[in-house]
Structures are given as structure tokens and as C-alpha cells.
Structure 1
């Protein structure tokens, strides 16, 4: 690896940690260890029959953990978690059991089935899908709040599936499917043990990260993931000139084309993007024919980059609540 790569990584690490130290305790609201439990059940045996109604009932400027448990079923809703309603968890009870579905296309901020604008949001065991199909932008999930985490979720569409827009985000054991730029945006995100499935039948990109200047502390890191596909795709292309994506310890099937990356028809971006791989494996991970403007991480560089510290996760990624309490009148 050329010395310039090491310098680039050092700048990356120092700016990221400056960002984390400045904002690690930004979520110091008066949350309690016990969560308010709200149940959504289409059969009428819960507190609400629609997910959006349960979200609407949370007071503005909420400072308590609210756990919205959604019983299994197909919920045909277009969901928005407003910016003034932090500390909400929406959880299904089992994988593939709670399906939130819509069919819409158009601009990326208008078409999402599920939009998260609030900070400190958690999604668990949800299937979020936009069934529009090929032919237009059709976002399934938009995440524009800070400190958002998703566990065991399935996110599917065709074009622009996951708008990983702004903020710090964590995705664990999620399945994400699409064909064109299906993970895109300018968030600072860690994807751990996720399964990415490409529907591309040509050379469409999995990621389109939008970092636009060297001062932005954003980028996508994929750690211990798996990539499969129906035919062929590249790992990413630069929506922003300083696009930053790292794949580490990831299985890549032969769906990944040998060149690995695409410059989106603009060769000037080759000198500014940060596209790296680290100890990936599988038939699509052969670095012999990768574009020369991508690279590999060294072990010491990977130690700094491949932890939750890169998103300040230790201060905000929360586990399942251990205690629950009933909603007060203001939540009813």
C-alpha cells in the first residue's frame, strides 16, 4: 500500500474521533431504564391497530424510552417517526413476522415506506419493503436521525432501497436487497453481520455514498457481512466526490465484478474517493483486477476503523429493555 493511503487513513481516523468526542453525550436526555410498553395489534387486542397511531401518541420532546411492540401481520402503512419524538423502539416479535409495506416511487425523500427523522431510534425484527419494482426511485427506509440502530431487519426494494441519509447509524444482522445504489446517502454507519443481496443484472452499484468534502465525518463500513446477487454488480460508486466505503471480513460471491468499483463516469473522483477492502473472501473478493484507485487496509489501520467507536456506538447503542411499565395518560 502506498504511503499516501496511510496518511489518508490517519486523517480519516483523527477527524472521526474528533467528531465522536464532541458529540458522545449529545443524547443525555432523562431516559429511564424501564421502557413504556405500547402494543400494536391489527386484531384490536392491543393499544393501537396501526403503527403510525402508536407513534403519534408519543408526546413531542419525549424523554422516556417508548417500546412499541408490533404483533405479527402485514401493515400497509407509510410510516414517519417525527424529529421531535426521540427514544422510540419499534419491534416485531420474530423475523419476517411484522411486515411494513407500501408501493410508492418518486423523489428519495417522498417515496420511503418508513422514514426516521428522530434521534435515538431503534428498529427490531421488522420487514420494511417498497414493492414498486424497477423503473423509478423507490425507497423502502430513510434514516435521517442521529443515533439510530436496526437489528434483524429486512429492508427491500429495487432502486434506492436504503436512504442512509444523515447521522450515526448501526445495522446488525440485517438483510438489505436492491439493484441500483441500494445503500446510499451521507451517514456515518456501521453495518455488522448484514446480508446484502444485489438484484442487478449488469454493473449496478451496491453503495452510493455521498461524502462531499474531506471535512465530513461520514462513510459506510461493512464488517463481517455477506454479499450475494442474481448476476453481477460493483461494490460502490461515488455519489459524492469524497465518497468513503470500507468492506472488511466480508464474504463476496461471484456476483461482484472483478473491478470492484466504478467512478460514475467521472475520473476526477478517482483521486478523492476512499474505497478500501480488508481480508474479504469468496470468489468476488479477488483483488487482482480491482481498479487501481481502490486499496486495502493494513492490520493497524483496520484496528482503528473497524469498531463501534467509529460511530461512537458505545455511548448510544442500547440493548433490549429489561423492565417495562404501562403508558401514562399522556401516552394513551
Structure 2
């Protein structure tokens, strides 16, 4: 446990028994429901093998790891339609966040089920106003599920890896300064943006990298008809397919999706005429609407969600 951690935070989690709790779930379950003030939980370096859920009543939680490399929350679970039905993907998480106004920083969340078992979620977040800073999300298929219609999520300086559809779901999410690492020839995003939402995923100033043997990766395919994804000012490796986007063998969705790019660089950032005809290259005036504050903030946040307003507006 880091010196002074007990005094600085409300609770300390340490696997060696020197903190208030030995597991994250015990600390979350012990926190006050719908607290008046934010609840801060420090997690000491260690490997925490557990399935963790931040309940809807656990609002205003700050989860702070001692270091992103050595504070590791891990579990091994994957899709098993026989045991849990056709929607069992959504049971496979390592960390599930349902409580609004959640933040996490300096920790790793991973699903170790492996590449040969299908869907296996590391992070499942359906909370509104959830922020992740300097975190790693490790897995294969369906690593990060950003969910919740109308929910807003922000990823800053994070590392996300996977094989297929490893960023998926229907939330509005902004990824800034993140590394997006592909481990197989497949698809990065599978957005299911609701048609009433003005934005889906925005990747800004990100780096798209891949394992050495990977050479054909699409930026996205639509999980649902109105998928909305934009890559802005990002560095695209040579593993990105020149077509850029895929219609999931459903030509009808080409009329409803919004797949956009602006000022990307790197060998994967080809001329617009090499991309599929139903994607778009944004103009400087068009890209302005994708600013973080415009995507993630609402008027009421200034008064009723000051922590979120501070995170997004700074």
C-alpha cells in the first residue's frame, strides 16, 4: 500500500490484507449508496481475480489504481449460449459499471478467456458520465462494451486491445489520446448508435496499432443500422484496410450509418476516394461539432454534475 493512501482515500483495497478490504467488490459493496459526496477507493498494486460490478446505486465512485501496469483486475469468462442463453455476451464482463458519475484511473482490466472462445468482455460500462484515464483494457473479441442509450463515456490516454468488434455498443463515447491495438485481421468498432442520438464514437488524436502479422483491419462495421463513428486527427497504421469500413454484408445500412474521418495520418489514412463511397471526409467546419464538449456535455451538467463538467470542459 502506497504511503499516505489510507488518509487520502475513503477506502483502501490491498490483496495482502493491509487495507480496508482485500477485494474491489467488497469495497464497492461497503460504500454508501447514492452518497452525498464522492467515494474514493484506492487499489494497491496486485492482481485481483474477481468479477466486479459497480451497482446503479454506487454513484460518484472514484476508483484509483496504484499503477496502470501492476494494478490488475482480471477474470476469465466468455460467451456460452448453452448455459446462459443467446445474450450471454453481457454476462462475461470482468468489470461492469452501472453507477453514474464513475471515474477510474491507473489500472488494468482484462478478460483472459483467450482468442478462440468468442465474445469475452473486459469492461462493460452502461453508466452515464463515466470517465477512464490512463487505463488498459485487455482482451480479444468484444473487449470494451460501451452501452446505455443516452449514456456518455470518456476515455483519456487509455490502451484498448482486441481482435473483433473490440469497441462495441450504443453509448456516446469519446476516446482521446488512446492507443487502439488490433490483434487480428477483423474489425475495431461495432457501434449500435440509437437513431435519436447525434453522436456515437469519436476517436480523436488516437494511435491505431497492430500485431506484426495483422494486415487487414476495418475501422468499423455497424452492429445496428444507425452506427455513428468518427476518427479524427489520428495516426492509422498500415494494417487499416484501404476501404476503411464494412457494411457487415448488409448494403441497406449504407444509407443510415455515419462513418467519418478528418485529418488522419499514417499509412492507413488513404485518400477519400479509396474509402467506401458511403463514408465521408469531414470539412473543418463539419469537424467542429465533434469537439469533446459538444459531444459529451449538456446544459444541466454544470450545476448537477460538476465533476463531469470539470472533466469534460477542461
Is the contact between residue 98 and residue 127 of structure 1 (CA under 8 Å) also seen in structure 2? yes
Matched, 1:131 2:131: no
Task: Please name the residue that 1:181 is paired with.
Answer: 165
Distance 1:35 1:170 in 2: 25
1:74 aligns with 2:79: no
Q: Verify: 1:113 aligned to 2:98, yes or no.
A: no
Pick aligned residue for 1:306 from 287, 291, 294: 291
The verdict on how the C-alpha distance between 1:228 and 1:108 changes in structure 2, with shifts beyond 3 A counting, is same
Q: CA deviation at 1:36?
A: 5.3
Displacement, 1:114?
Answer: 0.3
Q: How far apart are the structure 1 equivalents of 2:145 and 2:33?
A: 25
Report SS of the residue matched to 2:242: coil
Q: Secondary structure at the match of 1:109?
A: helix
Q: What's 2:210 paired with?
A: 229
SS in structure 2 of the partner of residue 309 of structure 1? helix
Alignment match of 1:283 (pick from 267, 287, 296): 267
Distance 1:50 1:94 in 2: 17
1:193 paired residue number = 177
Query: Larger RCO: Structure 1 or Structure 2 (Cα < 8 Å, ≥ 6 residues apart)?
Result: 1
Mapped pair 1:157 → 2:142: no
SS of corresponding position for 1:108: helix
Q: CA deviation at 1:317?
A: 4.9
Distance 1:49 1:317, change over 3 A: farther
CA shift at 1:303, angstroms?
Answer: 1.6
CA distance in 1, matches of 2:232, 2:255: 21
What's the TM-score, normalizing by structure 1?
0.82
The Cα shift of 1:219 comes to: 0.1
**Residue-pair matches, total:** 283
Q: Which residue of 2 aligns with 1:205?
A: 187
CA RMSD, Structure 1 to Structure 2 (Å): 1.6
1:286-312, Cα deviation, whole Å (9 max, x unpaired): 134110100111101112212233111
CA distance in 2, matches of 1:212, 1:149: 21
> Corresponding residue for 1:94?
67
Gaps of 5+ in 1: 1-33, 320-332
Q: What is the CA–CA distance in structure 1 between the aligned matches of 2:245 and 2:192, rounded to whole Å? A: 15
State the match for 2:19 in structure 1. 46
CA distance, structure 2, for counterparts of residue 224 and residue 266 of structure 1: 30
* 2:230 pairs with one of 241, 246, 252: 246
Q: Which runs of 5+ in 2 are unaligned?
A: 1-6, 80-87, 303-307
In structure 2, distance between residues paired with 1:208 and 1:133: 20
TM-score by length of 2: 0.87
Q: For residue 64 of structure 1, what is the aligned residue in structure 2?
A: 37
